[in-house]
Structure 1
Amino acid sequence: MKITGSDYTYWTNMPGEATAAKFLEKVRLMWPTALVDDERHAGDVEIFISKDAAMDDFQDKNGYALNEDGEGCFMFFACSKSFFHGDVHISNILGSADLMSTDPHNSTIFLANPTRYTLVLPTLLEESEFSKKIHTFLIDSLSESAMIK
């Protein structure tokens, strides 16, 4: 089977456990009886989620794809690292007013003890309301984790 799914990756200083808990709360509101394969080891989190056994079977045969109801399996990863150094292009900044007026530019980011989040969705965000919804679950969970003291 060819590689399927659309990956979205984020680097943050929010811990994986707290964000995973928030993310799963949102999934359980959408799919109260979801099948959740949750593996955790050494601070890393790997969660595969399907709505039910039929969706799980569909994924086994089709990979990450939308079913006839426009939904599909997805995966959440959180992986702790000791250090991150990356060259990035900043095109948009959300947050404090003094940063929001910054023009797009190249920058270098150094992070100590960050967490890399990866979300594997059945389609690109631009192609599916379902994928956009799951992506919003992650973004909202990261924002909520930032508020946990």
Structure 2
Amino acid sequence: MTTPTTAPRTSPDRAWAATAALIGIHQVEEVVFSLGVWRDEVGDTGWAPLDRVLRHSPIASYSVGPRVATLAGQALVGTMLYAATRRSPGLTRAATSALSLGWGAAFVMHLTVATRTRSAMPGLATSILPGLPGVAVTLRYIWAGHRAG
């Protein structure tokens, strides 16, 4: 029973659903719009480690097949993490928080690269919305009702 001073906890299933939605929306944009084509138009990002990743990552492929396969692989790993943690609220909070924060860092990278290159890098739109605000909302949702102690 919920008292006025205690919010109900978010269930592990709902925490995973919120996290999957945040990540999935962004990843679909990267499948639809080719980072390879963008890279050809813009050139280097000015950050050598990222440029190396963009030259070799399947998510940056010109062909949609490798991009879809990458998204499918990410979905498979996410499903495995969900299955491994869903019975534990603590493990769910840790895993979904880590994923949300990791994608938050990716959103910041997209915003930084877009600003630096003065271009609309694939993934930019969903780094703005739901993007960083979505990370904050998702983390708040994941941790709703949880009090350490």
- Normalised to the residue count of structure 2, the TM-score between the two structures is 0.31
Q: Which has the larger radius of gyration?
A: 2
Higher helix share: 2
Q: Which has the higher contact order (CA 8 A, sep 6+)?
A: 2
TM-score, normalised via structure 1 length: 0.31
Normalized per residue, the structure richer in strand is 1
